[in-house]
Amino acid sequence: MTTDIQSILNKLGINASNAAYSTGSNWGGELNTNTLESFSPVDGKLIASAKVASAADYDAVVHQAQEAFTAWRTVPAPKRGEIVRQFGDALRENKDALGTLVSYEMGKSLQEGFGEVQEMIDICDFAVGLSRQLYGLTMHSERPSHRMYEQWHPLGIVGIISAFNFPVAVWSWNTALALVCGNVCIWKPSEKTPLTAIACQQIIAKVFKDNNIAEGVCNLVLGDREVGELMTNDGRIPLISATGSTRMGKAVGAAVGARLGKSLLELGGNNAIIISEHADLDMSLIGAVFGAVGTAGQRCTSTRRLIIHESVYDAFTAKLVKAYGQLRIGDPLDQNNHVGPLIDTEAVAAYLDSIAKCKEEGGNFVVDGGVLSGDAYTSGCYVKPCIAEVQNDFKIVQHETFAPILYLIKYKTLDEAIALQNAVPQGLSSAIMTLNLREAEQFLSAKGSDCGIANVNIGTSGAEIGGAFGGEKETGGGRESGSDAWRAYMRRQTNTINYSNTLPLAQGIKFDL
């Protein structure tokens, strides 16, 4: 395993000899001597270390980005799209290596690692088409011989703060769109997954170099919360796109709002699937289990709650228990396994604490949890996916735990089920499993799900890039990826052109000299 990972690091341009990696000016690590150490949750081994950006490093990166923006914004949008197209091709060439590193550094299954890189490729394809479709509107003026229209201009520097659970995909959502819109980017990845970020920086930096584009369009700064605070409080960065916990998002939103900047927040989820009496239970089982245990329950769209009709509750619970008994937990690079590790031992402690709190509130575990030990689980990060029967108003159920803990709740009527689904602080993803058209339409109506994502007969997890991704309430209200999410990265300008030989005023106001 070590030899394979070393060769993958080498292919991605990361020199990990002696477990050290010295970053260069592209990501701001020249002046500081502090380092981040990246340990794999797969086997607990140190993969490599990387220098952290100092405040001086950070300031130099921002200055370079400002200079790069003055040139990049003048490049025609379709030309910017061509650069993003080449980045997508470079990702295709590196998909296996980058996907494997994602799996090893973060702990998600190899298939999910490959899927994450494919998501990056897909958003590049989307952005290429978008580069010729940054449309504004033309409006009729009330004044004769006048034309009104609106156009969109880039903001400047887009600051991107990403989380460990999708260490590369969410960055690409922001970067691909920000670039075709004419912005430049500064990325602070999670301190838990710095190596995948360095790999991405290497790949995109080569694309810019091959096209004779000066450094500074895409930038990487490694560091902890202090670096993130420098970004969020920096008036030179008009937009901060941040992905993470609700607690973190509230701090970012307050800091950016205090300087009247813009924030795009993708925060926590507490996602539920309603299992109707009219559901296809076998199909529902696949969506529920993958949603609950995929990425070891560490997706913002992971299924946390199943709201099951009382008439099928026992039958569906029996199916769940049987399915959980068949889950294979282990090395995520082994494609025979279903579930990999949690990101680190802190996440394991949070998992155990949540189980204890659930039991204290009266939760009944139909599938017990616990930490796995033995030669295959030396990192201490492998846990058992578990299932508990609960009440929706339990404090622990209202809280998002980033772990494979699934809560079962019984309901009688669809109105009750929707009310339960909505009765949490978060509002990201939701789903109903039903073959009843009226139930499906009610769930999607204004009196249905209050989430940013609402699905019928698919689970809560696994969004496509074509639609805008994001949620309401404590999920932050941001929208990334597809649809018209590009507007978040631009400023709107209304223009009026007078081509007459007089100057009439709006609203019929007279002002004669």
Any bridge partners for residue 45, and if so which?
A: none
Q: From the candidates 105, 112, 116, 266, which is the catalytic residue?
A: 266
Of 169, 190, 14, 196, nearest to 105 by C-alpha is: 196
- Please compute, for residue 92, the number of CA atoms within 13 A of its CA located in the half-sphere on the CB side: 11
Token pair in block for residue 43 = 């086997």
Contact call for residues 184 and 213 (beta carbons, < 8 A): no
Helix (H/G/I), strand (E/B), else coil: 271: strand
Residue 445: Cβ-neighbour burial (10 angstroms; 0-12, 13-18, 19+):
exposed
Task: State the angle between helix axes of 169-180 and 110-130 in degrees (0 to 180), rounded to the nearest 10.
Answer: 10
Residue corresponding to tokens 């949008």: 77
SS (H, E, C) 324-379: HHCCCECCCCCCCCCECCCCCHHHHHHHHHHHHHHHHCCCEEEECCCECCCHHHCC
Residue 72's identity, in one-letter code, is W
Asked about 266 being catalytic, the answer comes back as yes
List C-alpha distances in Å: 268 to 158, 231, 402, 424: 22, 21, 9, 11
d(CA 408, CA 322): 15
Q: How many residues does the chain have?
A: 513
Contact call for residues 98 and 117 (beta carbons, < 8 A): yes
Q: Which helix (H) or strand (E) holds 481?
A: strand 480-481
Token pair in block for residue 248 = 């973190």
Q: Is the dihedral of CA 5, 194, 69, 479 positive or negative?
A: positive
Any bridge partners for residue 150, and if so which?
A: 494
Asked about 200 being catalytic, the answer comes back as no
Residue corresponding to tokens 């926590």: 268
Q: From the candidates 300, 358, 386, 451, which is the catalytic residue?
A: 300
Helix (H/G/I), strand (E/B), else coil: 504: coil
Contact call for residues 114 and 339 (beta carbons, < 8 A): no
For the sheet containing 262-266, what is the strand order? Answer: 218-220, 184-188, 157-161, 239-243, 262-266
Q: Which helix (H) or strand (E) holds 492?
A: strand 490-498
Known catalytic residues?
A: 266, 300
